[in-house]
Amino acid sequence: MSDKIAHLNADTFKTAIASPAPVLVDFWAPWCGPCKAIAPILAELADELDGKVTITKVNVDDNDAIAAEYGVRAIPTMLLFKGGVLVETLVGMMPKATLKEKLIAKI
């Protein structure tokens, strides 16, 4: 896991997504197979897009209220925020190139 990926909770979530730069929030759980599969992709993107996009994670088991607030019903779900506003919802596993393309389009 990249040291550039912050783990958010109820105390840190709103501040993190308020950044003027894009913030990707990965809603995941330790028992989720696709979440484990996309984790290395997110770590690589955190390094490659450092300074352009911030990648964060929210464990839905520990932060179910945040997941419910944003209508997260399946994991992995990735929400992309810009200035605190939700600009894109991505659900499920996807290839690195596809995810990177979607992120770059929002920079």
Told to judge if 84 belongs to the known catalytic residues of this protein, a careful annotator would answer no
CB crowding 4-23: b at 16 or more within 10 Å, else e: bbeebeeeebeebbeeeebb
Given the residues 6, 16, 29, 32, select the one marked as catalytic. Answer: 32
The amino acid occupying position 77 is T
Told to judge if 9 belongs to the known catalytic residues of this protein, a careful annotator would answer no
Given the residues 8, 23, 24, 35, select the one marked as catalytic. Answer: 35
Q: Give the active site residues.
A: 32, 35
